[in-house]
A and B are shown apart, each in its own frame.
Chain A
Amino acid sequence: MSYSPKIGVWLCECGGNIGDVVDTQKVMDEIKNQVQFVKRERYLCSKPSIDTIKEIIKNEKLERIVLACCTPKMHRETFLKNVIEEGINPAFLEIVNVREQCSWVHKKDPEGATLKSLDLIKGAISRIKESKELHTKQMHVTQEVLVIGGGVAGITTSLRLSEYGLKVHLIEKSPSIGGHMIQYPKVFPTLDCSQCILTPKMASIAQSSNINLKTYSEVKEVTGSPGNFNVKIWVKPRGVDVEKCIGCGECSRVCPVEAPSEYDERIGKRKAAYIPFPQSVPSVYTIDFDNCVRCGLCAANCPREAIDLNDEGKIEELNVGAIVLATGFELFDLTNLVNYGYGRYPNVITSLEMERILDVNGPTGSQLIVPKTGRQVKSVVYVLCAGSRDTEVGQPYCSRVCCLYSMKQAQLLRDRGVDVWINYIDIRSPGRRYEEFYRLTQEKGVNFVKGKVTEIEPNGEQVLVRSEEMMLNKMMENVVDLVVLSPPIISSEDTAKLSEMLKVPIDEDKFVLEKHPKLDPVATKRDGVFAAGAVIGPKDIQSTTAEAEGAAMKVVNFLGMARIIEANKAYLARNELCDGCGKCKKICPESAITIVEDKPVFNEITCSGCGACIPECPQNALDQEGLTDIQIQTQIKGILNDTKAPLKIIAFVEKEVVYTAIDLAGLARLSYASSIRIIPMPSLARIKLEHILYAFSYGADGVMMLEAPIHEGPYGNAHKISEERAEEYKWALEDYEIDSSRLWYSRVYVPDWRKLERIFNTFHEMVESEDPIEGNQRGKILKNLLKIKD
Chain B
Amino acid sequence: MRLAYYPGCTLKTTAKSFDISTLESSKTLGIDLIEPERWNCCGTVHALSKDDVMHHLAPIRNLLRIEEMKKTGIVEESKVITVCAMCYNTLKRANLVFNSDSDKVKKINENMENESSVYNGSVQVEHLLETIKHQGWDNLRNKVKIPLKDLKVAPYYGCLLLRPRGLGIDNADKPSIMEDMIRALGAEPIDFAYKQKCCGSYHTVFMKERVADLSYKILNQAKIAGAEIIVTACPLCEFNLSHRQTEIIKNRSEFKEFPVIYFTQLIALALGLKEDSMVFGENKTDPRPLFKYKGFLKEI
| A residues adjacent to B (C-beta < 8 A) | 335-339, 341, 344, 393, 455-458
**Residues of chain B within 8 A of A337, CB atoms compared:** 173
Segment of B65-73, B190-198, B279-287 in the binding face: B190-198
Is there contact, CB below 8 Å, between B173 and A336? yes
Interface hub of B174, B193, B196 (most chain A Cβ within 10 A): B193
- Residue numbers in A under 8 Å from B174 (CB-CB): 335-336, 338
Q: CB-CB < 8 A to A335: which residues of B?
A: 174
Chain B: CB-nearest residue to A460 = B224
In the docked arrangement, what's the CA distance between A458 and B224, Å? 8
Q: CA A455 – CA B191 in complex, angstroms?
A: 15
Docked-complex contact A338 and B173, CB < 8 angstroms: yes
A344 to B195, CA, bound (A): 13
Q: A344 touches which one: B173, B191, B196 (CB < 8 A)?
A: B191
Question: CB-nearest residue of chain B relative to A456?
Answer: B193
- 6 interchain residue pairs of minimum CB distance: A457-B193, A338-B173, A393-B173, A338-B174, A458-B224, A341-B193
**Contact mask for chain B residues 169-182; partner A; CB cutoff 8 A; 1 contact, 0 none:** 00001100000000
* Cα-based distance from A341 to B221 in the complex (angstroms): 12
Task: Tell me the complex Cα distance, A335–B174, Å.
Answer: 9
Q: A452 → chain B, closest Cβ, in Å? A: 16
Q: Which residues of B are found within 8 Å of A344, using beta-carbon distances?
A: 191, 193
Minimum CB–CB distance from B65 to chain A (whole Å) comes to 36
Residues of chain B contacted by A336 (CB below 8 angstroms)? 173-174
Tally of chain B residues near chain A (CB < 8 A): 8
CA distance A576 to B196 in the complex (A): 70
- Kindly list chain B residues whose C-beta atoms are within 8 Å of the C-beta of A458: 193, 221, 224
Complex: how many Å from CA A338 to CA B179?
15
14 contacting pairs across A/B (C-beta < 8 A)? A335-B174, A336-B174, A338-B173, A338-B174, A339-B193, A341-B193, A344-B191, A344-B193, A393-B173, A455-B193, A457-B194, A457-B221, A458-B193, A458-B224
Q: Do B224 and A338 touch across chains, with their CB atoms under 8 A apart?
A: no
A526 CA to B153 CA in the complex, in Å?
55
Contacts of B191 in A (CB 8 A): 344
Question: Min CB distance, B214 to chain A, in Å?
Answer: 13
Contacts of B196 in A (CB 8 A): 338
Instruction: Give the interface centre of A338, A456, A458 by most chain B CB atoms within 10 Å.
Output: A338
Which residues from A are CB-within-8-Å of B173? 336-338, 393
User: Roughly how many angstroms separate A389 CA and B47 CA in the complex, as a whole number?
Assistant: 33
Q: Which residues of A contact B221 (CB under 8 A)?
A: 457-458
Give the interface centre of A336, A337, A457 by most chain B CB atoms within 10 Å.
A457
Distance between Cα atoms of A393 and B196 in the complex (Å): 16
* Chain B residues within an 8 Å CB radius of A341: 193
Q: B residues 214-253 with Cβ under 8 Å of A?
A: 221, 224
* Closest partner residue, chain A, to B197 (CB atom): A455
Task: Looking at the assembled complex, report how far the CB atom of B197 sits from the nearest CB atom of chain A, in whole angstroms.
Answer: 8
Residues of B within 8 A of A455 (CB): 193
- Residues in chain B near residue A393, CB distance under 8 A: 173
- Report B57 CB to chain A, min CB distance, Å: 32
User: Chain B's nearest CB lies how many Å from the CB of A205?
Assistant: 42
Closest Cβ of chain A to B215, distance in Å, is 15
Measured between alpha carbons, how far is A393 from B173 in the docked complex, in Å? 8
Nearest-neighbor residue (CB-CB) of A464 within chain B: B193
CB distance from B158 to the nearest CB of A (A): 15
In chain B, positions 193-212 with a C-beta closer than 8 Å to chain A are: 193-194, 196
Q: Mark B151-162, 1 if CB is under 8 A from A, else 0.
A: 000000000000
Query: CA of A13 to CA of B188 in the docked complex: distance in angstroms?
Result: 91
Complex-state Cα separation, A456 to B191, whole angstroms: 14
State how many angstroms separate the Cβ of B294 from the closest Cβ of chain A.
Answer: 25
Distance in Å from the Cβ of B164 to the closest Cβ of chain A? 12
Beta-carbon nearest neighbor of B193 in chain A: A457
User: Closest Cβ of chain B: how far from A485's Cβ, in Å?
Assistant: 15
Q: What's the minimum C-beta distance from B159 to chain A, rounded to whole angstroms?
A: 14
B122 to chain A, nearest CB (A): 32
Roughly how many angstroms separate A344 CA and B174 CA in the complex, as a whole number? Answer: 13
Bound state CA distance, A614 and B196, in angstroms? 59
Cβ–Cβ < 8 Å partners of B224 in chain A: 458
Nearest Cβ on chain A to B68's Cβ, whole angstroms? 40
Closest beta carbon of chain B to A714's beta carbon, Å: 43
Q: How far is the CA of A335 from the CA of B221 in the complex (A)?
A: 18
Chain B residue with Cβ nearest A458: B224
A590 CB → nearest B CB, Å: 40
Cβ of A346 to closest chain B Cβ, rounded Å = 13
Cα distance A339–B173 when bound, in Å?
8
Query: Whole-angstrom distance from the CB of A386 to the nearest CB of chain B?
Result: 14
5 A-B pairs besides A335-B174, A338-B174, A339-B193 with CB distance below 8 A are A338-B196, A344-B191, A393-B173, A456-B193, A457-B221
A206 to chain B, nearest CB (A): 44
CA distance A455 to B224 in the complex (A): 17
Q: How far is the CA of A674 from the CA of B5 in the complex (A)?
A: 75
Q: List the B residue with the shortest CB-CB distance to A455.
A: B193
**B271 to chain A: closest CB distance in Å?**
30
Contact with A along B276-299 (1 / 0, CB 8 A): 000000000000000000000000
Closest chain B CB from A372 CB (angstroms): 16
